Amino acid sequence: MTIGRGLREAVVAQRGRVVSRLPSFPVPRLRGRFRRRGLLAFLAVMGPGIIAGVAGNDAGGLTTYSVMGAETGLRLLWIFPITIVILAIVQEMVARLGVVTGQGLSDLIRERFGVRWTVFAMAVLLIANIANTIANLAGAAAALDIFGVPKWLTVPVVAVAIWGLVLFASYRIVERVFLAVMVVFLAYPIAAVMATPDWTPVLHAFVTPSLELDPRTVLLMVAVVGTTITPYMQFYLQSAVAEKGIDEEELRLEQADAVLGSVWTNVIAVFIVVATAAAIGVGGGAAIASAADAAHALEPVAGPWAEALFGVGLFGASVLAATIMPISTAFVICEAFGWESGVGKRFADAPVFFGIYTFVLAAGGLVVLLVAESALIPIIVGSQNLQGILLPVVLVFMVLLVNDRRLMGAHANGRWGNVLAWGAVAVVVALNVVLLGVTLLGAVGISLG
C-alpha cells in the first residue's frame, strides 16, 4: 500500500449505500467469518483501536504531557484515570458505530442531521485539524531546533517533502517511521522507572485530586483532555473499523481493541508526565521553553543521547501526523458532501479534495513561520486547548447517532450506556466552562488560585 496510491478513495457497498472511506493505516480486511476463538480471534480483529490510541501521542501529546510534568509535577496525575474512562467510552461507541453501520462518521452525520449540521461539524473538524497540523509542523521545527536547524528552513522543506511523500513515496517508509516513533515512546516508561525510585507519591497523586484554579493549570487540564481525546481520532477509528470489514460477530473483540487502545495511550501519557516531573519538575514549578528542555526527561535512560533521541522521535511523530492529518481532513470532508476524492486523481478531477489538502498544509506551515521561535511550545500546547474546546461538538453528534435505533438496532445505547456517554460529555463541557470562567475572572484581575 502506498500513500500516493494506497491512501485512496476506498469505495464499498454495504446495506445499499456507497460510502467513501477515510485513508487509514494498512489493515487486512476480514474476509468471511472468523471461527477462531480467544487470542487468535482478537489478533485478527485488533488494529484500529490500538492505532488510534497510539496516534494520539503525536507532537501535541508528547509536548503537552512534558509541559504538564515539568510545570505541575505529579499534582495533576489524577486526571488520567478520568481521561482513560472518557476515552474508553468514546472509542467503544465509535467502534460500535463503525461495526454496525459500516459507514464513516461524517457520512452518518450527513444522513442523520442534514447538510447544515454537516457543514457545522466539518467546520469544527477543519479548525481542529488545522490546529493539529500547526502543532505537528511546530513539533518538527522544535525537534530540528535541537540540532541548530532554523524553522524557516525546516517548515518549507518538511511541507514540500510531505507533498512529495503523499504523491510518490511508499507507505512502508512512513510505517517504518511510525514504528521508530513507538520505540521512543517506550523509552519513557524506562526513564520513569529509572528516575523515580519511590512510586508512593505517584500512586498517591492518582487518588488525591489537587486542583489549583489558576488559568495556566486549567489550560493544561483542557490541553490534556484535548490531546488525549481528539476529534480526529473519532473520525479515523470509525472509518478504519468500517473499512476493515469487521462484522457484528466480532463486535466484542473490536470493543476490546478500542478500550485497549484507550488505556495504552493514557499509560504512555502517565509515564511521560512522571519522567518529565522527575527529571525537570522536581515537584513542579519548572518550565519547558524548548524541545531540548523536554528531552532532559529521557536522560536517565538515554544519557547524553537524550536530546538526540527526543529530537528524532519528536520529528518522526510530527512528520507522520503532519502527513496524515491534511490528507485525512480532505477525505473526511469530501466523504461528507460526496465530492470526488483520491490522491491518485488529477487536480482537475478532484479540485476540492486537493484544495482542502493544500489549504490545511499551507495554513499550518504559514502560522508556524510567522510566530517566534520561543512560541513553538506554547503554540503546540495551545492547539491542544483548542482540540479540547471543540471536542464536545463531535461527542454530541456521536452520542445522538449511537442512540438512533434505526441505525443501531439492538446495539443502540442502553440506559447505563447513556449515563456514561452523557456523563463523559458533561465532564468535557464542565472543564471548558471552568476554563472560560477562570479566563474571564483573570481578565478582570481576579485569581482563584
d(CA 342, CA 318): 23
d(CA 130, CA 122): 12
Sign of CA dihedral 378, 384, 387, 392: negative
pLDDT of residue 156: 93
Sign of CA dihedral 331, 337, 338, 344: negative
Domain residue ranges of the chain, discontinuous segments joined by + = 3-443
Query: CB–CB of 171/277 below 8 Å?
Result: no
Is residue 126 classed as helix, strand or coil in its secondary structure? helix
d(CA 271, CA 294): 13
Q: How far, CA to CA in Å, does 412 sit from each of 49, 108, 398, 423, 435? A: 20, 15, 12, 17, 33
Question: Can you say how many angstroms the Cα of residue 309 is from the centroid of all Cα atoms in its chain?
Answer: 22
DSSP structure class, residue 22: P
Question: Can you say how many angstroms the Cα of residue 221 is from the centroid of all Cα atoms in its chain?
Answer: 16
d(CA 75, CA 51): 29
Quick count: other Cβ atoms within 10 Å of Cβ 424?
Answer: 23
Is residue 13 classed as helix, strand or coil in its secondary structure? strand
Residues of the chain under the 50 pLDDT cut:
1-36, 171, 283
Is residue 300 classed as helix, strand or coil in its secondary structure? helix
Long-range contacts of 300-309, Cβ-Cβ distance < 8 Å, separation of 24 or more: 300/190, 300/191, 300/194, 300/195, 300/275, 301/187, 301/190, 301/191, 301/194, 302/187, 302/191, 307/146, 308/146, 308/147, 309/184, 309/187
153 Cβ contact partners less than 8 Å away, ≥ 6 residues apart: none
Residue type, 260: L
**SS3 of the chain: helix, strand, coil, percent, to 5:** 75, 0, 20
Quick count: other Cβ atoms within 10 Å of Cβ 61?
Answer: 28
pLDDT of residue 11: 32
Residue of 49, 389, 351, 69 whose CA lies nearest to 219: 389
CA angle 324, 329, 331 (to 5 degrees): 95
DSSP structure class, residue 197: S
What pairs with residue 18 in β-bridges? 13
Sign of CA dihedral 12, 237, 319, 124: positive
d(CA 197, CA 208): 20
- pTM score, two decimals? 0.78
Query: CB–CB of 411/248 below 8 Å?
Result: yes
d(CA 287, CA 69): 9
pLDDT of residue 4: 34
Residue type, 434: V
CATH of 3-443, one of 1.20.1740, 2.30.30, 1.10.287, 3.20.20: 1.20.1740
171 Cβ contact partners less than 8 Å away, ≥ 6 residues apart: 1, 2, 3, 6, 7, 26
Is residue 12 classed as helix, strand or coil in its secondary structure? strand
Question: Can you say how many angstroms the Cα of residue 10 is from the centroid of all Cα atoms in its chain?
Answer: 23
